[in-house]
Chains A and B, each alone.
Chain A
Amino acid sequence: MKSSASSKAKPRSILPGFGISLGFTIFYLSVLVIIPLAGIFVKTSGMTPGQFWDTVASARVIASYKISFMTSFFAALINLVFGLLIAWVLVRYRFPGKKLVDSLIDLPFALPTAVAGIALTAIYAPNGWIGSLLEPLGIKVAFTPLGITLALIFIGLPFVVRTVQPVLQDLDNEVEEAAVMLGAFRLRTFRRIILPELIPPLLTGFALAFARGIGEYGSVVFISGNMPMKTEIAPLLIMTKLEQYDYKGATAIAMVMLIISFILLLLINYLQWRSNRRVITE
């Protein structure tokens, strides 16, 4: 800590390229991301509050937000549970094919969303491998909110696993042994000692999966059925408005989603900052 404080006082680094690298970074970021995104705000500012409100508060738009939120929330929740389980199993147990399973976790990151979408639809449609098994039980997956949730589970799975995994790996055996020596058996050690350490990464993973779910488009459109008021997600509604050349409507919906995304992004950064702060520096 001392060394970093003293080098902070150092006025300049002897390394070259600060001006050009930072300059290019800010230029590129502005041209490609900031200015285009600002366009959304400029466009909505061209609407009267009444127009804006009528668009974003119309029954169909509200319904789409609701569906996006509910499905993303439940998908993230399921990922929270199974992501923790998978990370646990991968870090702590030995079983054949473990390395392969570990690689498979990243598939949702690497697989184009449209491909995931048609594949999930094929399996969970009423005539699909699993859909046909569920049909007699009265469970419909494809073309219902359940299907959307399923697609979002697929998309969000790696977020929870990959944020929990390194923390679980770095957990010191000695901390668990300390609990053992104080008389705690397995379940209590998990609840009182291990789980509290995993809550920051679990929350981060949950927020990441949730944020990704709200914006997700490619994997959902195929399995959702896209019925207005029932299985129409917010990104799809933006798409529909665009196809009808209703740019203002599309932009207004996008504006609300953007604000939600920013809030989530800030929350995620805050969570990560908080969990980093607690690390004991030896």
Chain B
Amino acid sequence: MHIEVRNISKTFHGHKAVDNVSFSIERGKLIGLLGPSGGGKSTLLRILAGLETPDSGDIFINGKRVNDVQPQLRGIGFVFQNYALFKHMNVFDNIAFGLTIRKASKAEIKTRVGELLDLTGLRGFEHRYPHQLSGGQRQRVAFARALAPKPDLLLLDEPFAAIDAKVRKELRTWLKQLIGTLGITSIFVTHDQDEAVEVADEMLIVQKGRLEQQGSPVHIYTDPQTAFVAGFIGHSTVVEQPESLRGFGGSSLTAGAKALIRPEFVEVGREREIPFPSAAEKGKVRHIFFRGAHLELDVEVGSNRLSAHRSLDQEPLQPGDEVSVLIHRLYVISDESATIVENPLKVDPLPVHI
């Protein structure tokens, strides 16, 4: 294991910022540390860097415990949210800073900075000062500066937060490719799940200082382990009384449990459109929202309101239309856990109810 974190906790003024977190990361992976704002992601990142000291727990890099190693000596590159560029230094000197500290020779510095200028597409800008650069360019300088001393691990705190939406998309793709090419283990913090899903090889979901789940984006999306993850990832509707939904009334649900239903779990249409009519029930379209590539329907089923998608190619529906609603599956959530439950009627070849 390249990075290993064991039982890390950190409290600020009685507030548990990080609460008994353990995980490990393989070499070369790009990790997305995802969670709501104020959930302890940045603190966790800063603890790894050595910028904060944990109250308890151990951190291992390459099998060596680094708790007592000063941040200067951990060999970690850090990209700050607002880049923290040195305003009085030009791009070249910013990138070269870490090398001059390591007493690299002039020639070495020139070669290494040159490599990074090419890598980050900043060639020609080396004599500019930070205030003469665009947001995206500053971000790339910060990135090049962190990479210059060839760190073992790269940490990025909300690297795209201060960049406008369009440039952000380009940078994400660029960063993912670049980190892939370099093969450097990287952890980036984000509160934007689209960003994490798109960029990360593996995600760590953190909430209220606790690690909720670790896994690949697909794994976390399809198999959320906790109620928080099920609700946080993707779009979903909370259903207070899932037992009233057709197919889920039986013993498959514990009494009083709530459920989360994603729009893609719900099929809505005229009765003939639904593959398992016996597993479907009646509902009424309340609102229709145009979402570009598809329509989003707000459907009333009994006392529950569900959200569903419908293709633009399908027969148009109107608000107020009576429709059939088939719920393929849902997540049953309790305080902690989330379990997926398939609609049992869907697979039953001879349904009892006709």
Interface residues of A (CB under 8 A from B): 172, 174-175, 177-185, 188, 192-193, 196-197, 277-282
Contacts and interface: CB of A to CB of B under 8 A. Distances in A.
A4 to B, nearest CB: 16
A279 B84 CA distance: 13
A62 to B, nearest CB: 40
Contacts of A193: 86
B88 interface: yes
Given A177-B80, A279-B131, A183 B149 contact: yes
Nearest to A200: B88
Nearest to A280: B131
Given A188-B101, A278-B131, A282-B162, A181 B87 contact: no
B101 A182 contact: yes
Interface in B87-113: 87-89, 97-98, 101-102
Given A197-B88, A278-B129, A183 B78 contact: no
Given A183-B101, A280-B87, A280-B130, A178 B80 contact: yes
A37 B229 CA distance: 75
B1 interface: no
Given A174-B80, A177-B80, A182 B97 contact: yes
B338 interface: no
B61 to A, nearest CB: 14
Contacts of B142: 178
Contacts of B149: 182-183
A188 B149 CA distance: 17
Most buried by A among B80, B89, B162: B80
Contacts, number: 70
B211 interface: no
B101 A177 contact: no
B69 interface: no
Contacts of A196: 86, 88-89
Given A174-B82, A177-B80, A182 B98 contact: yes
Contacts of A180: 51, 71-72
Interface string B55-88: 0000000000000000111001110111011111
B162 A182 contact: no
B131 A184 contact: no
Interface of B: 49, 51, 71-73, 76-78, 80-82, 84-89, 97-98, 101-102, 129-131, 142, 145-146, 148-149, 162
Contacts of A185: 72
Contact of A177 (B78, B89, B162): B78
Contacts of A281: 131
B82 A172 contact: yes
B88 to A, nearest CB: 4
B191 to A, nearest CB: 18
B84 A177 contact: yes
A184 B72 contact: yes
Nearest to A193: B86
21 contacts: A172-B84, A174-B81, A175-B84, A178-B78, A179-B86, A181-B71, A181-B77, A181-B146, A182-B146, A182-B148, A183-B72, A184-B101, A185-B72, A192-B97, A196-B86, A197-B87, A197-B88, A278-B87, A278-B88, A279-B131, A281-B131
Contacts of B85: 175, 178
Contacts of A279: 131
A185 B85 CA distance: 17
Contacts of B49: 181
Contacts of A183: 72-73, 98, 101-102, 149
B25 to A, nearest CB: 19
Contacts of B82: 172, 174
B129 A181 contact: no
A179 B87 CA distance: 12
A5 to B, nearest CB: 17
A177 B146 CA distance: 12
Q: Most chain-A Cβ atoms within 10 A of its Cβ — which of B85, B142, B162? A: B85
A162 to B, nearest CB: 22
B94 to A, nearest CB: 9
Point out which of B73, B76, B78, B148 has the most chain A C-beta atoms below 10 A from its C-beta: B78
A75 B82 CA distance: 39
Contact of A174 (B72, B84, B89): B84
A246 B19 CA distance: 82
- CB-based closest 5 A-B pairs: A182-B98, A174-B84, A181-B78, A178-B84, A196-B88
Nearest to B72: A183
Contacts of A192: 97
A196 B130 CA distance: 15
A196 B82 CA distance: 20
Contacts of A179: 86, 97
Contacts of A178: 78, 80, 84-86, 142, 145
Nearest to B98: A182
